[in-house]
Amino acid sequence: MSINPFVSLFGRSPIGPMQQHIAKAHECATHLVPFFQAVIAEDWPKVTEVQQEMSRLEKEADKLKRNVRIHLPKSLFLPVPRSDLLELLSVQDKVANRAKDIAGLMTGRQMTIPQPMQLAMLAYVQRSVDASEQALRAMNELDEVLETGFGSRQVARITGMIEVLEDIEHDTDRIQIEVRRSLYALEKDLPPVDVMFLYTIIEWIGDGADRAERIGNRLEQLLAR
């Protein structure tokens, strides 16, 4: 396999640290599944425990983000534009931020999920996390693309992963419609403030998948340069 001379000179940095960052952001997002399971069970000590762990992971992701920004080379010999990497890093960070937001709001208000919505909500959360996982998989292929000088086979592999990511995000859109519809049917029997915040949470879960998809979009733009 041919090796890009620039990568030989500068090593895999900064791609390795960026991969570590998205792995930490995804780890934070994965905790949404046990978090919602605890919410549905109304196990508030467990809810608080998971929320605190998510907050810790988000802070670790922030530290990794700052380290990448501080140490990202300013050299003209980077295999991709520095500005593109910084934009990608910012998008990655938003995955953890949104997951933390969801857990923080629901814990603070001790929000519950009406029983008729629970199964659909769990499926919705899982699919949003699936989007984050697929974004991580695509990002983990980037170093090989750079090593091979943007070889066509490696680029095609990432492109295929991004297409799967888009399909997953479309799934979350479909499930979101179902969850919204089920909440609408229950509105008259629920306190209006609870309904308002449930709609907010539904929106934020979908936003988590949207942010994961944006990672794929940024990768596509980077590969097209």
Q: Supply the pTM of this predicted model.
A: 0.89
- Six-digit token string for 205: 């879960």
Residue 12 has pLDDT above 60, yes or no: no
Token pair 């979350």 is found at 172
Token pair 């308002």 is found at 196
The answer to whether 84 touches 204, Cβ cutoff 8 Å, is no
Q: If DSSP codes are grouped into helix, strand and coil, which group holds residue 133?
A: helix
Half-sphere exposure of 66 (CA within 13 A, CB side): 6
Q: Which residues 6+ apart lie within 8 Å of 208 measured at CB?
A: 29, 32, 95, 98, 99, 102, 128, 129, 131, 132
Residue 78 has φ and ψ, to the nearest 5°, of -60, 140
Closest CA to 210 of 14, 29, 28: 29
Q: What is the pLDDT of residues 180-216, one digit of tens each?
A: 999 999 999 999 999 999 999 999 999 999 999 999 9
Question: What type of residue is 114?
Answer: P
The answer to whether 139 touches 122, Cβ cutoff 8 Å, is no
Mean pLDDT within 72-76: 67
Number of H helices, E strands in the chain: 9, 0
The answer to whether 183 touches 202, Cβ cutoff 8 Å, is yes
Confidence of residue 225 (pLDDT cuts 50, 70, 90): low
Confidence of residue 141 (pLDDT cuts 50, 70, 90): confident
The answer to whether 213 touches 165, Cβ cutoff 8 Å, is yes
Q: For residues 166 and 219, what is the distance between their CA atoms, to the nearest angstrom? A: 13
What pLDDT is stored for residue 79 in this prediction? 65
